[in-house]
Amino acid sequence: MIDSNSTSIVFTEIFPVMIDKLPPLFAYQLNISGSDQNTIGGKLAYQFKNRLNGHWAWTQAQKVIITDISYPLEELRETIKVLWEEQPDPYAFLIDIGLYDTQNLTDQAIADFVAFGLLEDQDKDLKRVLSSLKDAFKNKSAEF
C-alpha cells in the first residue's frame, strides 16, 4: 500500500563513463592504523588536490586515492610528513602510502574518480545550466 500523504524522494546518479577518453590513471593505497579510512582518505585526497597538480579523489568503493598525474612515492610521503606536523589529527593514524595497481580498479572506483575528481572542474558550469532549467522542473531539484 502506498501512502499518498507521504513525500517520496527519488534519487538517481547515472552517467556513462567513456573509459577510453580518460587520462591515464594512477592509484595509491593507504596504510592506516585504527581509524576511519574514509575520513583520512578523503581528507588526504583533498590535501593532495590543494598542494599538488592534477585531479585527486578518494574512492570508498576500493579505499584508494586515484589521480591523473603520477607522483613519486617519496614526494607524496614528504607531503604527508608536512601534514603530520600541520594537522596531526586525523593524519596521526596514517602510516604510509603505496602504489596500487590500476588494473585492479573497479568500474565504481573509476566512476568515483570521474565524479569527484574530473567533474569538479565543471561544477560551476553544471550548476549554472541546471539552475537555468529550474522552471522546467517545477517541484524537482538537483543537488551537487
pLDDT tens, residue by residue, 67-121: 999 999 999 999 999 999 999 988 999 999 999 999 999 999 999 999 899 888 7
Handedness of CA 59, 63, 101, 109 (dihedral sign): negative
Residue 68 within a domain: yes
Residue 134 has pLDDT above 80, yes or no: no
Task: Report d(CA 75, CA 39) in Å as an integer.
Answer: 22
Residue 142 has pLDDT above 90, yes or no: no
**Which CATH number does the domain housing residue 120 bear?**
3.30.70.100
For 139, which DSSP code?
Answer: T
The dihedral region occupied by 54, where left means phi > 0, alpha psi between -120 and 50, and beta the remainder, is left
| Predicted confidence band of residue 8 (pLDDT cuts 50, 70, 90) | low
Residue 108 within a domain: yes
The pLDDT tens digits of the residues spanning 14-61 come to: 678 888 999 999 999 999 998 789 999 999 999 999 999 999 999 998
Q: State residue 124's pLDDT score.
A: 73
Residue type, 19: I
Q: Give me the number of domains the chain comprises.
A: 1
Domain housing 70: 23-127
Residue 142 within a domain: no
Residue 143 within a domain: no
Q: State residue 25's pLDDT score.
A: 97
| Predicted confidence band of residue 2 (pLDDT cuts 50, 70, 90) | very low
Residue percentage of the chain with pLDDT more than 70: 84
Residue 1 has pLDDT above 50, yes or no: no
Nearest 5°: the CA angle 64, 65, 66 is 115
Residue 81 within a domain: yes
Residue 66 has pLDDT above 50, yes or no: yes
> In the structure grid, which three cell numbers stand for residue 105, read together?
580498479
Residue 70 within a domain: yes
